[in-house]
Amino acid sequence: MTRYADLLIMHSIDGWVLLPLVMWRFQLYTDPRKPVAVPPGVREIGTPDEMSPVLVSSNYALTYSIVLSDAEKSKVNAWLVVIDTEGLTIDVSVAARKFTGDKIAEIIKSHNLDKKIKHRILIIPSKAARVSGDVEDSTGWRVIVGPMDSSEIGKFLEKIWTPDKIKEIMSQ
């Protein structure tokens, strides 16, 4: 019915009434067989420097926007490595072997991230914990498994991302 509607009767033209229709309109012509994805690459959150943490995420649009939003809310300065998982979420991409160390290594090399960073530590999502060994082998970087929920990124980094802990991780 919504696909072939010629007339829509509205009880109001207030913004809050129109918002669902606008959002529905933007999603009307997306192919449901192809997940919505953002381009892979390296993004800056805040103003990262050579000692800022490096977070890893998939290119599923919803995951990317949530991780980015949560990191910005916590006022973290970090690098965000977005790998091509063909628009799949973290847990699904790990199971489908789309979230791999080789893809992370490829993004790091293609964006010269190793030249911008003094440490060699990656923070991967906890749902990707089982591929941490593969990521370490492929990249040569140390891997820390991050929080289960991206809303905890700020608290997690306050605890783990101190100069003493970074030195301790690098010496292991």
The topology under which CATH files domain 41-171 is: Rossmann fold (3.40.50)
Tens digit of each residue's pLDDT (9 = 90 or more) over 81-119:
999 999 999 999 999 999 999 999 999 999 999 999 999
Cα 85 to chain center, whole Å? 11
Nearest residue to 145 (alpha-carbon basis) of 121, 164, 166, 119: 121
What pLDDT, on a 0 to 100 scale, did the predictor assign at position 112?
94
Tens digit of each residue's pLDDT (9 = 90 or more) over 37-73:
999 999 999 999 999 999 999 999 999 999 999 999 9
Tell me how crowded residue 13 is: count the other CB atoms within 10 A of its CB. Answer: 7
Q: Which residues contact 71 (CB under 8 A, 6 or more apart)?
A: 45, 55, 78, 80, 150, 153, 154
d(CA 35, CA 99): 15
What pLDDT, on a 0 to 100 scale, did the predictor assign at position 18?
78
Q: What is the mean pLDDT of the chain?
A: 89
Q: What angle do CA 67, 130, 103 make, to 5 degrees?
A: 65
